[in-house]
Amino acid sequence: MSLKIAIIGTGIMGTDHARLFAQDLPHVQLHTICDVSEERAKAIAEQFGVPRAMTDAYAAVTSPEIDAVVIASPDDTHAPLTIAAIEAGKHVLCEKPLSTSSEEGIKVMEVESRLGRRLVQIGFMRRFDPSYTEMKSALTSGTVGQAVMLHCYHRNVTAPANFTGQMAISNSAPHEFDAARFVLDEEIAEISVYQPKSLDTTKIGAPVFMVLETAAGRLVNVEINNNAHYGYDVRAELVGELGSVFLRAPVHSETHTGLSAKLAYAPDWRPRFAEAYRLQNKAWIQSILTGKPSVIGSSAWDGYCATRIAETGVQALASGKRERVTLIEKPALYR
Ligand code: ISE
């Protein structure tokens, strides 16, 4: 069986998903590319041999010719397009964040719950990254004992020009929130947020440092630095009672010249998480073909939790205090 897929949005991630589905993954036909720019939609469709290019996202996500939709348009369109798509019976892979407010995330869960089946997977691809997989299994196998702390570093080369306000917390940090929930397998209960006062914190992409406390009292620290300059660098160390696990980025070579050795950094997240994206999209296709949601993949509940933590983080930055992350009761569909 070949699933017919539409991709909404042809920014960095929409284009990368188009490449993956068109060139790297079986059982799919990339059928539609949709973008507000007709020129861009046509160019990407032509690049990947996709039969249809269009500009109306709502028509694309509800189109009878489509089985499944990848939503990679701007963050504020994610929840409304996801709702329109699932109401039309489509399966959705929605790029993170699921929504820009937790209320919208709740609406997505209400629609999915009314429909009685899970149709949404969120693009928290790190869950499929082999280095996080190994970190999690060091915990579940007992190798490092009980988890105590998780240190997370998230560094981008430069923040994009549209990276306004608190997007370090609402756009970048949700990856860390989801990874922490996934690895530790518990909810985040409290958050406090700091910024280095030595820098102009009103500048786009100013760094943020967060301390999260889990429901069981474990500690997670998160550095978000969107203007790190030297490379895309995501690090994490899980500290257990008996040992620790560091993530290693996939590096395939080391260059030796002039009395020194050099390891290259990726310019952005696509090469760093290439395998994670491939495995995530493969698992999504499998979940549609088998009718069983991926057990690793992130659900609308996970998307809601990440957005709720981010919202509380923005609040904590403003208040300068430790804030409690309040969640709604987990709906039955996600238990
Ligand atoms: C971007 O939207 C992503 O999802 C990347 O994975 C992340 O590293 C980056 O900080 C975000 O802005």
Residue range(s) defining the domain that contains residue 248: 127-269+305-334
Number of domains in the chain: 2
DSSP 60-90: HHH-TT-SEEEE-S-GGGHHHHHHHHHHTT-
What would the pLDDT profile of 74-87 be if each residue is shown by its tens digit? 999 999 999 999 99
Mutate to test the pocket of ligand 1, among 95, 167, 171 (most ligand atoms within 8 A of CB): 171
Kindly state whether residues 191 and 260 are assigned to the same domain.
Answer: yes
CB 27 within 8 A of CB 52: no
287 alpha carbon, distance to own chain's centre? 18
Report the distance separating Cα 172 and Cα 154, nearest Å.
8
Kindly state whether residues 118 and 31 are assigned to the same domain.
Answer: yes
Kindly state whether residues 204 and 117 are assigned to the same domain.
Answer: no
What would the pLDDT profile of 40-58 be if each residue is shown by its tens digit? 999 999 999 999 999 999 9
Kindly state whether residues 104 and 168 are assigned to the same domain.
Answer: no
Q: How many CB atoms lie within 10 A of CB 47?
A: 14
> pLDDT at residue 108 above 90?
yes
Kindly state whether residues 30 and 113 are assigned to the same domain.
Answer: yes
Q: What values do phi and psi take at 87, rounded to 5?
A: -60, -30
What would the pLDDT profile of 161-200 be if each residue is shown by its tens digit? 888 779 999 999 999 999 999 999 999 999 999 999 999 8
What would the pLDDT profile of 8-42 be if each residue is shown by its tens digit? 999 999 999 999 999 999 999 999 999 999 999 99
Kindly state whether residues 91 and 180 are assigned to the same domain.
Answer: no
Kindly state whether residues 32 and 109 are assigned to the same domain.
Answer: yes
Kindly state whether residues 35 and 136 are assigned to the same domain.
Answer: no
The mean pLDDT of the chain is 97
Kindly state whether residues 114 and 141 are assigned to the same domain.
Answer: no
Measured in Å, residue 43 CA sits from the centre of ligand 1 at 24
What ligand 1 atom has the least distance to the C-alpha of 167? 12
Kindly state whether residues 69 and 168 are assigned to the same domain.
Answer: no
Mutate to test the pocket of ligand 1, among 16, 122, 158, 172 (most ligand atoms within 8 A of CB): 172
Kindly state whether residues 253 and 200 are assigned to the same domain.
Answer: yes
Nearest CA to ligand 1 atom 11: 172
- Split at pLDDT 50, 70, 90, the class of 65 is very high
Kindly state whether residues 235 and 164 are assigned to the same domain.
Answer: yes
pLDDT above 90 covers a percentage of the chain that reads: 95
